[in-house]
Amino acid sequence: MVHLEGAKAGERIRMLMDTGATYLVLPPSIEKRLGIIKFPRKHKTILAGERVVECEFGTALIQIEDREAPVTVILLDCPEPLLSAEALEALGLKVNPETGRLEPTRSYTVAVF
């Protein structure tokens, strides 16, 4: 479980880890509940299968265990939220391919006290 925080609220969310995704992906329903701060205009991005789409981006705070950092979020209609490589890098975490668990790669970026 991941804790995400926007301008309005914070929430624990179950996310699918996608090590091929650069940015965290959230559906509009979660974006609205949290109050994700959006960038002023849409940007093009490339999805799996090399499909190019224009979508909204924003920022949120992510927390996993005692690690917290700001991350870039793509706001896109998707079947489930995706946890991205950028988010793990910001938190100093990696996926262990043998166990499927998250492990530290370095000391935390920002400590939560």
Measured distance CA(90)–CA(108) in Å, rounded: 9
Q: What is the pLDDT of residue 26?
A: 96
The torsion angle over the Cα atoms of residues 57, 104, 101 and 27, rounded to 10 degrees, is -10
Mean pLDDT of 89-113: 82
Q: What residues pair up with 55 in beta bridges, in sequence order?
A: 43
In the chain, alpha helices (H): 28-34, 85-91
Domain ranges in the chain are 2-104
Instruction: Report yes or no: 58 and 4 within 8 Å, Cβ to Cβ.
Output: no
Radius of gyration of the chain (CA): 14
* Topology (CATH) of 2-104: Cathepsin D, subunit A; domain 1 (2.40.70)
How confident is the model over 31-86, as pLDDT tens digits?
999 999 999 999 999 888 888 999 999 999 999 988 999 999 999 998 999 999 99
